[in-house]
């Protein structure tokens, strides 16, 4: 039973509970009109303490498409936070007004603290470089819908694997599915943190490999998950300039890829996927963004207990 629960970490729900959310998301995709009044009278509060376009709009669109309403902020300086109000007090107040909360915060663990003081379900919409569980649900639903499975896949993750919270959450979630191989593609400066390798990959005996070049492995991939190589993460600009073009996916790099490989990206992209790939049948990142809205509709409906 998911009613009244919060989602802070991708492992908060069992595989069976995630399948339940995906089953509802699939029904909504097939017949969205049938669910357009499911959340009549319900209110979502979006508490976004750092900038977001896709995630915030996706949550808001999801609630509106369920027939509910939205309140919230995307600029904390316009709220009592600027007066020094704590997260605990903010969430207690918001609990009086709304039925569910989506919260993004630059500090790791902030949504967890909020959930401890909240009277209503809290969904972590991204906390620092830590977790982004609804992006993970989006990624898994997209893979499941297009590839037809979440096991027996070779998944390449490319770009900023050190600070990328979407990558950390996805590795965690994929550790539950059998016989997947994960290929980690990044410069030394942005490799996956050791704790992810030790606590998730090694602990669960997941086969993985670390490489520096997409070209060396692209022919073996079923899924390529691209992320942005972030200039601001480098101490030395020369290193960034030397490496940045290695992580641009273009038509040449795709020549060796499988016909049915899919390309995902949590977005926003800067220059890591060439625009001339957007019309390639393997480019699934805009489909992925749309699936994100449907999976959030299903998630919120389940947590509020309306479906």
Give tens-digit pLDDT for 264-274: 999 888 889 99
Q: What is the rounded distance in angstroms from the CA atom of residue 124 to the CA atom of residue 4?
A: 14
**297, 62 Cβ separation under 8 angstroms:** yes
Model-level pTM? 0.92
Q: What is the rounded distance in angstroms from the CA atom of residue 295 to the CA atom of residue 307?
A: 13
pLDDT of residue 82: 57
pLDDT of residue 230: 67
pLDDT of residue 46: 96
**159, 190 Cβ separation under 8 angstroms:** yes
Task: Please identify every stretch of the chain with a pLDDT value under 70, giving residue numbers as ranges.
Answer: 76-83, 129-130, 230-234, 246
pLDDT of residue 165: 80
């Amino acid at each position: 039973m998911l009613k009244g629960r919060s989602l802070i970490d991708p492992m908060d729900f069992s595989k069976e509970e995630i399948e339940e959310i995906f089953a509802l998301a699939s029904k909504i995709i097939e017949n969205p009109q049938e669910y357009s009044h499911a959340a009549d009278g319900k209110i979502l509060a979006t508490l976004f303490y750092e900038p977001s376009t896709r995630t915030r709009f996706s949550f808001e669109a999801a609630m509106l498409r369920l027939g509910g309403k939205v309140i919230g902020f995307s600029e904390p300086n316009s709220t009592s936070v600027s007066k020094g109000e704590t997260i605990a007090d903010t969430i207690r107040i918001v609990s009086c007004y709304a039925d569910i909360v989506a919260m993004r915060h630059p500090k790791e663990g902030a949504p967890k603290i909020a959930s401890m003081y909240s009277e209503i379900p809290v969904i972590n919409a991204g906390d620092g470089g830590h977790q982004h569980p609804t992006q993970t649900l989006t990624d898994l639903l997209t893979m499941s819908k297009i590839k037809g499975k979440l096991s027996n896949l070779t998944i390449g993750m490319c770009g900023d694997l050190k600070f990328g919270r979407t990558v950390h959450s996805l590795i965690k979630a994929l550790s539950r599915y059998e016989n997947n191989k994960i290929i980690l593609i990044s410069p030394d400066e942005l490799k996956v943190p050791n704790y992810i390798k030790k606590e998730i990959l090694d602990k669960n005996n997941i086969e993985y490999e670390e490489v520096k070049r997409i070209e060396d492995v692209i022919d073996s991939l079923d899924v390529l998950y691209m992320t942005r190589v972030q200039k601001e993460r480098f101490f030395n600009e020369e290193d960034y300039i030397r490496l940045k073009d290695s992580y641009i996916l273009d038509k040449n790099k795709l020549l060796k890829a499988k016909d049915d490989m899919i390309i995902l990206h949590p977005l926003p992209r800067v220059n890591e996927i060439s625009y001339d790939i957007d019309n390639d049948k393997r480019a699934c990142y805009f489909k992925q963004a749309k699936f994100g809205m449907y999976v959030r509709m299903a998630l919120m409906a389940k947590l509020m207990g309306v479906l």
